[in-house]
Amino acid sequence: MEYLSEDHANLLLAKEWLVKVDNDTSTPYLFKFYASTVDLTCIILITDTKSVWGEVLSSNQIARRWRECNQHDAAAPASQADEESWRANCLEFLAVLHSLGGVAELNFELAKSKYSDLAFELRSDPFRWRWETFNVGPKLSATILSKHLIMPLISVTHLAFSSPEVIGSLSEIELEKSTDRIGRIARRTVDTHVKSTLSKPIVATTLRRMTAVFNFVPEPPRIVADVRAPELIPPSPPAASRAALESPLRRATSPSSTLRKLSSAEGSSAEVAARPTPPQLPQDDDSVTEEEPDEDESPPPIRKGKDAAKDQRSVITSTGSPTQSAPSKRATPDQPLPPKSYESRTQSPSDSSSLHPLPKKPKRASEAATSSDEESQTERRIRASQVKSTARRGVKQPIKRGGRRF
């Protein structure tokens, strides 16, 4: 069995619409029929303007359907030639039956079927025919309705409203000429044709009123033959009130807001001043980094008794406060010395100028000689030079004494 396709639907473009009504449901059905005696096939297309169904019958299916519907013609012909001639006659009869004059003499009735989507029968006194149609789908249905119904009706509407004479009073030849002229113009520029037809005020308002009346609208709109072009000026936003404009100015000039801004500015300046700034030590041009003392160096001798007390008093008197015992690391150019305390940063210039540097640490050359007699004179000179270079950078406290560095 072959289903209806778009190619089959194109064969029906030159066929007229036939109309029958189902008396039980009061539904009108529009259908088209095509028959070919060359390949002995026939096509039926039927729609209720919402869905589309169709069926394609071959030569064998036509003969089988005929014998099923008409039992008095069930006897088979004697030869194959007689069979083909009989099938051709059946197609010709079906073509006459599915015409404007023949369909008016037929009774239309929907039938129940287990094999199709929509089945209907066409009856007359000596004859009965049955169609078993199938739904063609929404996409093909829209294409078929547009080609076979909607676009032709738009062109006929254009012809009816643009003709200077009444179409019903025209002769067949004149109407054919007018139709051909409108159709040739429409197929060249379909978009312009549809726009020029439906944008006419009289056509658009007539179609609007017909739609409203057809669908039971209580007050259908009036038909207008001419309309005026409106002024397309967009509305401007509403103006702000005077109180809304003055309120932000008052808030900006209020004394409370000014005081809040001043207090916040003072707080931020105090925070910036309170941030510690690490001191920058002068660097020697001779070396970039400072070498750590060797592990085999002996620590300086710890002073006991009066000498230790004198050194501690001299440190206290020079700094003004006792030093805190905390381990310190040797400073390098990449790692500056730790920042001073808040009291030392807030001291007056006179106090800072009165501070005296701590006494330099005595050289370790003689003490290293007592700890290790095996070291040579060259190594002692190297250590002495290292001590001198470190002494130029700043005062260095002994490692194990834990003195504070400044």
Q: Please report which confidence band the pLDDT of residue 219 belongs to, taking 50, 70 and 90 as the band edges.
A: very high
In this predicted model, what pLDDT tens digit does every residue of 99-143 receive, in sequence order? Answer: 999 999 999 999 999 889 999 999 988 889 999 999 999 999 999
Whether residue 222 is predicted with pLDDT greater than 90 in this model: the reply is yes
Cα(9)–Cα(148) distance, integer angstroms: 9
In this predicted model, what pLDDT tens digit does every residue of 233-256 receive, in sequence order? Answer: 999 888 877 766 665 555 555 555
Q: E strand or H helix at 122, and its extent?
A: strand 118-123
Does this model's pTM top 0.95? My answer is: no
Radius of gyration, alpha carbons of the chain = 57
Place of tokens 């051909």: 180
Cβ–Cβ under 8 Å, residues 193 and 186: yes
Secondary structure (DSSP) of 107-119: EEEEE--SS-SEE
The pLDDT value given to residue 291? 47
Selection from 130-139, 288-297, 368-377, 394-403 with the highest mean pLDDT = 130-139
The pLDDT value given to residue 240? 74
Give the chain's count of helices (H) and strands (E).
16, 7
Whether residue 325 is predicted with pLDDT greater than 50 in this model: the reply is no
Cα(6)–Cα(9) distance, integer angstroms: 5
Whether residue 360 is predicted with pLDDT greater than 60 in this model: the reply is no
More reliable by pLDDT, 35 or 277:
35
The pLDDT value given to residue 295? 44
Q: Helix axis angle, 255-274 relative to 242-253, nearest 10°?
A: 40
Report the relative pairing of strands 18-22 and 27-36 from DSSP bridges. antiparallel
Residue 403 CA to its chain's centroid (Å): 69
The pLDDT value given to residue 248? 56
Cβ–Cβ under 8 Å, residues 33 and 42: yes
Cα distances (angstroms) measured from residue 367 to each of 311, 364, 373 = 19, 5, 11
More reliable by pLDDT, 34 or 263:
34
Cα(13)–Cα(10) distance, integer angstroms: 5
Which of 18-32, 268-282, 385-399 bottoms out in mean pLDDT, i.e. has the lowest? Answer: 268-282
In this predicted model, what pLDDT tens digit does every residue of 46-74 receive, in sequence order? Answer: 999 999 999 999 999 999 999 999 876 65
Amino acid at 108: F
Cα(283)–Cα(341) distance, integer angstroms: 23
Which of 15-24, 123-132, 338-347, 387-396 bottoms out in mean pLDDT, i.e. has the lowest? Answer: 338-347
Whether residue 220 is predicted with pLDDT greater than 90 in this model: the reply is yes
What percentage of the chain exceeds 70 in pLDDT? 60
Task: Tell me what the mean pLDDT of segment 148-169 comes to.
Answer: 92
Name the DSSP letter for residue 2.
B
Give the SS3 label for residue 96.
helix
Task: Tell me what the mean pLDDT of segment 206-228 comes to.
Answer: 94
Whether residue 268 is predicted with pLDDT greater than 80 in this model: the reply is no
Cα(403)–Cα(401) distance, integer angstroms: 6
Whether residue 279 is predicted with pLDDT greater than 80 in this model: the reply is no
Secondary structure (DSSP) of 233-271: -PPPPPPPPHHHHHHHHHHHH-HHHHHHHHHHHHHHHHH
Q: E strand or H helix at 206, and its extent?
A: helix 201-214
Beta bridge partners of 47: 30, 52
Cα(320)–Cα(355) distance, integer angstroms: 9
The pLDDT value given to residue 401? 60
Give the SS3 label for residue 400.
coil
Q: Please report which confidence band the pLDDT of residue 265 belongs to, taking 50, 70 and 90 as the band edges.
A: low
Other Cβ atoms closer than 10 A to 52:
25
Q: What average pLDDT does the chain have?
A: 75
Residues 6+ apart with CB under 8 A from 277: 339, 345
Query: What is the token pair recorded at 47?
Result: 């729609």
